Amino acid sequence: MKQISAKKLLLPSSSTGSISILEERKQQVYLKGNDTFEISCEKKSVAGSVSQRACVFCGSRVVLYPIADALHLIHGPIGCASYTWDIRGALSSGPELHRMSFSTDLSETDVIYGGEKKLEKALVELIETYSPKAAFVYCTCIVGIIGDDVEAVCRNVALKSGIPVLPVHSEGFKGTKKDGYKAACDALFKLIDLGYRRSSFHYPDILRDGKQKIPLSINILGEFNIGGETWIIREYYKRMGVEVVSVMTGDGRVEYVQSAHRACLNVVQCSGALTYLAKTMEAAYGIPYIRVSYFGIEDTADALYDVASFFTEAQEIMERTKHLVQEEVEELLPGLEEMKQDLTGKRAAIYVGGAFKAFSLIKALRHLGMEVVLVGSQTGNREDYELLKEMCRPGTVILDDANPLELAKYVIEKDAHIFIGGVKERPIAYKLGIGFCDHNHERKIPLAGFEGMLNFAREVHDTVTSPVWDLVPRKAGRSSSIQIPVKGEKP
């Protein structure tokens, strides 16, 4: 058994003192208040590390996944499709084509002789069967090697089928998950621009000129309708009097994506993923964008106020917004207050995909009286880490692209009560007898908006106050010996 003693892990004055951190990783760990040098993020993961990061394909897949009336065909051997089948809680109010896992399932012969024909045949058959409104073809590692001309196949099938067929250049090795976001944004932009150029799109109940702006309208970018979050947020904007043209890509539909160019403002939620698209749309159609978060009370309120402020031409929007926020917060507070009683002073560790999410989590946890003792992200940039540094109290550990060893080392050291991260972090937290909250895309419960905050608080509360932690060896102070006195025992 390889064990790293918790005591040995006690941080020296510099967080890099422990032998267990790879030399190359030293600059990706920062201990607020102790270290003076800067965190080194946006590096590729080190070969041989067991990173929590995924690949380019993963990035593209998560962004485009919720478009429910599109066909998503993964071009490659079966693995990439198998491991991503129906794993995300992105809900649809209508079609559910996104929940199917389609793959060209390349075999040895295909690899030798090329997969273009198989791809074309697969596409044609699937489009015929499922009548999607568009098709995305995800290129996986091997496609980049065997050199299939996916662009050509897509063009071909688009001509035949009359629907947009868009290649997504998501070969796993061609960068990081962020590059996958970019590839997805490219595909999305192509789709939007097709709509823009065609101008034949009929937006329901509004002027028929396809290129004309829709007044008081926005797109929501980087919101994936996990557990119905899109619906919650849409409802807020509706109550404010703001028209949501398109959500990318929560409860997404090709038709609405294609009309995104008609919105007045892009509201970008997921820090890493969709900013690139917002910038592209700004350049192409002059649509400005703002970055927001819908997680936590403050951030949600800010997100709504920011949008309201944008529409200076309609003062009533701000009035409605104020009313909405007040109403929602009042409903929320008693419940939160009750849970805060149990949670005050409890310690949390955060490790999430994007740094922006980390900001919101820190604020939300503080709202519950909790202390953040560790925070890290897979894809934060320098700017993000600067902000994190500012937000955190001295003694907080800040990590970029951490591996399980590091995560475990610091959560033990910081004696966290709960770990907030993605599904891959769960077993680490649990093995160490620490509560866990999934703040990633596989959860099924909405955590966005005001009601999401209540769900989040409830989940944190449920797990932090569970009695099972009393039994874990780390807490019970014994490995597996049994020394509980016998109650009611006679002589």
Partner 1 sequence: MRENRPYTATRNACKMCTPLGAALAFHGIEGTIPLLHGSQGCSTYMRRYLISHFKEPVDIASSNFSEETAIFGGGANLKTAIQNIARQYNPEMIGIATTCLSETIGDDVDMIIESMGDIMKETALVHVSTPSYSGTHVDGFHHAVRAVVDQYNPSGVKNRKNSRARKKINLFPGMLSNEDLRHLKAIFKDINTELALLPDYSERLEGPSWMEYQSIQHGGTPIKEIQKMHRATGSIEFGTILAASVERGNGSAGSLLESRFNIPLASMGIPIGVKATDRFFSLLEKMTLKMIPKKYKEQRGRLIDAYVDGNKYVSKKRAIVYGEEDFVAAMAGFLAEIGIIPVLCASGGKSGLFIESLRSILPENIFKQVSIHQGMDFTDMEEHARTLMPDLAIGNSKGYTMTRHLDIPLVRVGFPIHDRVGGFRTLHIGYKGAQQLFDTIVNTLLQKRQDASEVGYSYM
Site for partner 1 in 164-183 (CB under 8 A): 172-176
Residue 183's nearest CA partner among 57, 15, 13, 66 is 57
Measure the CA–CA gap between 61 and 93, rounded to whole angstroms. Answer: 20
Member of 56, 297, 358, 402 binding partner 1 (CB under 8 A): 56
Structure tokens at 332: 């929320």
Member of 220, 277, 405, 447 binding partner 1 (CB under 8 A): 405
Between 284 and 468, whose beta carbon lies closer to partner 1? 468
* Range in contact with partner 1 (rule: CB under 8 A) among 100-108, 218-226, 230-238, 320-328: 100-108
- Confirm if 343 and 372 have CB atoms less than 8 A apart: no
Letter string b/e over residues 243-257, b meaning 16 or more CB atoms within 10 A of that residue's CB? bbbbbbbbbbbbbbb
Member of 30, 31, 65, 77 binding partner 1 (CB under 8 A): 77
Between 283 and 486, whose beta carbon lies closer to partner 1? 486
Q: How far is the CB of 315 from partner 1 (least distance, A)?
A: 40
Between 45 and 381, whose beta carbon lies closer to partner 1? 45
Q: How far is the CB of 477 from partner 1 (least distance, A)?
A: 9
Q: How far is the CB of 198 from partner 1 (least distance, A)?
A: 28
Residues sharing a CB contact under 8 Å with residue 475, sequence separation 6 or more, in sequence order: 433, 469
Give the dihedral sign, CA 168/174/179/180: positive
Strands (DSSP E) along 205-334, which ranges?
217-223, 243-249, 265-268, 289-291
Binding track over 320-339 against partner 1, x by CB under 8 A:
--------------------
Site for partner 1 in 407-426 (CB under 8 A): 408-409, 412, 423-424, 426
* DSSP single-letter state for residue 261: G
Residues sharing a CB contact under 8 Å with residue 119, sequence separation 6 or more, in sequence order: 73, 75, 104, 137, 148, 150, 153
Interface with partner 1, residue 89, by CB under 8 A:
yes
> Which residue(s) pair with 347 in the sheet?
371
Member of 11, 68, 91, 244 binding partner 1 (CB under 8 A): 91
Upper half-sphere CA count for residue 95 (Cβ side, 13 Å): 19
Interface with partner 1, residue 293, by CB under 8 A:
no
Between 91 and 355, whose beta carbon lies closer to partner 1? 91
Interface with partner 1, residue 286, by CB under 8 A:
no
Residues in the chain: 491
Between 68 and 240, whose beta carbon lies closer to partner 1? 68
Member of 106, 185, 270, 370 binding partner 1 (CB under 8 A): 106
- Confirm if 211 and 262 have CB atoms less than 8 A apart: yes
Measure the CA–CA gap between 209 and 234, rounded to whole angstroms. Answer: 24
Member of 35, 290, 433, 455 binding partner 1 (CB under 8 A): 433
- Confirm if 392 and 375 have CB atoms less than 8 A apart: yes
Between 103 and 271, whose beta carbon lies closer to partner 1? 103
**Number of Cβ atoms within 10 Å of the Cβ of 326:** 11
Interface with partner 1, residue 194, by CB under 8 A:
no
Between 176 and 396, whose beta carbon lies closer to partner 1? 176
Member of 167, 250, 376, 435 binding partner 1 (CB under 8 A): 435
Q: How far is the CB of 475 from partner 1 (least distance, A)?
A: 9
